[in-house]
Amino acid sequence: MAIDIGALDKLRELIGGEEADLVELVESFLEEGASIMQDMRSGPASDLTAIRRAAHSLKSNARDMGAAELSQICARVEARCASGGPTDLAEIDNAQRAFDAAVTELRMILNLGE
């Protein structure tokens, strides 16, 4: 599973238990996450600062949504960029796959359409 239901339940509880509020947060994550992934994939591989920032943002948001695998991949991308290492394009591809899986599962869990 791409989403830890327990983490999603904790988030729901943290924001007051309202399903509509959770749906709003998830929809924001889906929209912003897609934009962040696009930034990571389309920017120059040499722009380590931009990639690190994008990975950091997506890492934190993914963790909040219960997308642990995506969060872990983004943490690796962020660390590699912070250390000045070359961008690992395979890891960015892995992040895209994990993001896509998280999107599919979140939409299913919350009955969100495309």
In the chain, what percentage of residues exceed pLDDT 90? 79
Give Cα separations from 58 to 17, 36, 47, 65 (angstroms): 24, 7, 17, 10
Q: 48-65 vs 68-82: helix axis angle to the nearest 10?
A: 160
Domain extents for the chain? 5-109
Say yes or no to pLDDT of 18 above 80.
yes
With tokens 């642990």, the residue in question is 68
Q: For residue 73, report the phi and psi dihedrals to the nearest 5 degrees.
A: -65, -45
- Residue ranges of alpha helices (H) inside 1-114 are 5-14, 19-42, 48-65, 68-82, 89-109
**What length does the chain have?**
114
**What is the distance, to the nearest Å, from the Cα of residue 59 to the centroid of all Cα atoms in its chain?**
6
Q: Provide the CATH topology of domain 5-109.
A: Four Helix Bundle (Hemerythrin (Met), subunit A) (1.20.120)
Q: How much is the pTM?
A: 0.93
Residue range 58-109, pLDDT digits in tens: 999 999 999 999 999 999 999 999 998 888 889 999 999 999 999 999 999 9
